Amino acid sequence: MRGVVRWFVVWLAVLSLGDVLGAQPSARSATVELRDAHWFDGTRFVRGSRFVRDDHFIDPPRGGADSVIALAGAYLVPPFGDAHTHSPDGARDYEAIRQTYFDVGVFYVQTLANHRAARRDLLPWLGRATELDVVFADAVVTATGGHPQILYELLATRFRPFWENDAERFEAFRSRTQDGQVYYRLDRLADVDSVVRLIARDAGPVLKIMLLQSDRHAERAGDSTYAGSYGLPPDVVAPLVRAAHQLGKRVWAHVETPVDFAVALDAGVDAFAHVPGYGAADAPDSLLASLLLPDSLVRRAGAQRVEMTATAALGVAEAGEDTARVRRHAAVVQRNVRALANAGVQFLVGSDNYNNAHILRLEPRALARMLGQSPVALLRTWAVHTPQAIFPGRRIGVLASGYEASALVLACDPLRELECLQRIQRRMKQGVWLPE
């Protein structure tokens, strides 16, 4: 009898040891050869094979791979990034939004303003190989009644982003339903510490701050006739940025004018969500010169190695067919963009988009046109710099041993024909082929 008990105990022990071993990857997981493709190496395409084990590329294994996928000369590029979006924002529509990004080839997005609770609703999805990889800025910091308080209050109470009369504008100005969710209000220096305590509740790597017409803040803030058209008082920006950096957060600034840009640079902001002069299409001709960045500011931005999304497609779309508006936009924004790029500012793809595949596709082209960029530089911006800027700690954007095995399989050479960037045949993310 005792012998039987002892055998049973040993059998149980073997079972649980088996469980432990089963939970680990087996001694050596299968190696896959992706055979005979053109691989983008950051400057050109190189023909050959790559090997994948688990979620990353590896050196060619001695003795070859366990299986082979013939790619028959297809063109492989790293997946794209979008460093300025506003989706996903919650579980509602998430699957459709994910599909829109994947269709375009975008695996990495950074939402520069989203609901904090909605981000938590997405936790069951995020962090898996087959899902979008998202950085959330959560709630942005602005002044009471500023941008984007009015926008998000109108969305929450009227289900549209604009007011129809003064009464609705005033109601949005007084409304606080989204306070502490999509925005924090900061109106004076003495309140910086209390707002920083609120920001510190979320561990995300990015904070977004709002600067609009900073030189006119004193006359506009708190006046409901300027609802939504101002942001932070300039004197809070430096201590706020310092505190965010102490929390380990990169700071992105929404700016509109050269004065906003100067305030943000003085404060040590890391990146910009728009080009100064954004909105030039609607500015009177007499104001255009004041929207051009002075050389001294351009040089400082280059020296501080800041990054910037130009939201170029949005500018083009907003300027519309009206040639005078297009001319004003181009005269200011394109000149500022080229001056900043020449000084060393790194431009990233950022569509400022909710879920519009057309804008997602248009943005890299519009940015490249604005910069006068070659196709290879465009590809580097979209597939290398932008993903690496969103996830600076990850081994992405490179199709080589030691990097995550993520790639888009293109039917043709995008350096010969840019349309090939959207002739995507298959998508691999962290070693997993995504469903077609």
Q: Which is nearer to Zn ion, 111 or 334 (CB)?
A: 111
Query: Could you tell me which residues are beta bridge partners of residue 81?
Result: 108
CB of 84 to Zn ion, least distance (A): 6
Concatenate the DSSP letters of all residues of 190-254 into one string: GGHHHHHHHHTTS--SEEEEE-SSGGGHHHHTT-GGGTTS----GGGHHHHHHHHHHTT-EEEEE
Residue 89, interface with Zn ion (CB under 5 A)? no
Binding part of the chain for Zn ion, among 160-168, 229-237, 344-352, 362-370 by CB under 5 A, reads 344-352
User: Nearer to Zn ion by C-beta: 309 or 406?
Assistant: 309
Query: Between 270 and 289, how does the x/- string for binding to Zn ion read (CB under 5 A)?
Result: --------------------
Query: Is there binding between residue 363 and Zn ion (CB under 5 A)?
Result: no
Nearer to Zn ion (CB atom), residue 282 or residue 322: 282
Binding map of Zn ion across residues 197-236, x = CB under 5 A, - = no contact: ----------------------------------------
Q: Look at strands 31-40 and 67-70 and give their pairing.
A: parallel
Between 71 and 310, whose beta carbon lies closer to Zn ion? 310
Give the residue with the Cβ less far from Zn ion, 33 or 138. 138
Write down the least CB distance from residue 86 to Zn ion, Å.
Answer: 6
**SS3 labels along 125-161:** CCCCCCCCEEEECCCEEECCCCCCHHHHHHHHHHCCC
Structure tokens at 395: 């081994």
133 binds Zn ion (CB under 5 A): no
Q: Which stretch binds Zn ion (CB under 5 A): 24-32, 208-216, 235-243, 346-354?
A: 346-354
In angstroms, what is the minimal distance from the CB of 243 to Zn ion? 23
- Which residue lies nearer to Zn ion by CB, 111 or 373? 111
Q: Which region among 20-28, 282-290, 343-351, 352-360 touches Zn ion (by CB under 5 A)?
A: 352-360
Q: Which residue has the tokens 């691989």?
A: 39
CA-to-CA distance for 26 and 321, rounded, in angstroms? 60
Q: Of 42-50, 189-197, 347-355, 419-427, which segment contacts Zn ion by CB under 5 A? A: 347-355
* Min separation Cβ 380 and Zn ion, Å: 24
Q: 85 vs 381, which CB is nearer to Zn ion?
A: 85
Q: 352 vs 404, which CB is nearer to Zn ion? A: 352
By CB under 5 A, tell whether 82 contacts Zn ion: no
DSSP tag of 330: I
Q: How many residues does the chain have?
A: 436
Q: Interface with Zn ion by CB under 5 A: which range of 121-129, 289-297, 345-353, 373-381?
A: 345-353
Distance CA 135, CA 119 (A): 10
Considering only CA atoms, which of 192, 182, 122 is closest in space to residue 152?
A: 182
Q: How many residues interact with Zn ion (rule CB under 5 A)? A: 1
Helix, strand or coil for residue 258?
A: helix
Q: Which is nearer to Zn ion, 114 or 388 (CB)?
A: 114
- Other beta carbons within 10 angstroms of residue 283's beta carbon come to 17
Rounded to an integer, what distance in angstroms lies between the CA atom of residue 21 and that of residue 358? 48
Cα angle 83, 429, 427; round to 5: 95
Which residue's beta carbon is nearest to the bound Zn ion? 352
Provide, rounded to whole angstroms, the least separation between the CB of residue 118 and Zn ion: 16
Q: Do the Cβ atoms of 210 and 254 come closer than 8 Å?
A: yes
Write out the H or E segment, with its range, that includes residue 107. strand 106-111
Q: What's the CA angle centered on 396, arms 394 and 402, to 5 degrees?
A: 85
- Which of 219-227, 256-264, 348-356, 364-372 is the region at the interface with Zn ion (rule: CB under 5 A)? 348-356
Q: Is 352 in the site for Zn ion (CB under 5 A)?
A: yes
Distance CA 315, CA 308 (A): 15
Three-state SS at 77:
strand
Nearer to Zn ion, 276 or 414 (CB): 276
Which residues contact Zn ion (rule: CB under 5 A)? Answer: 352
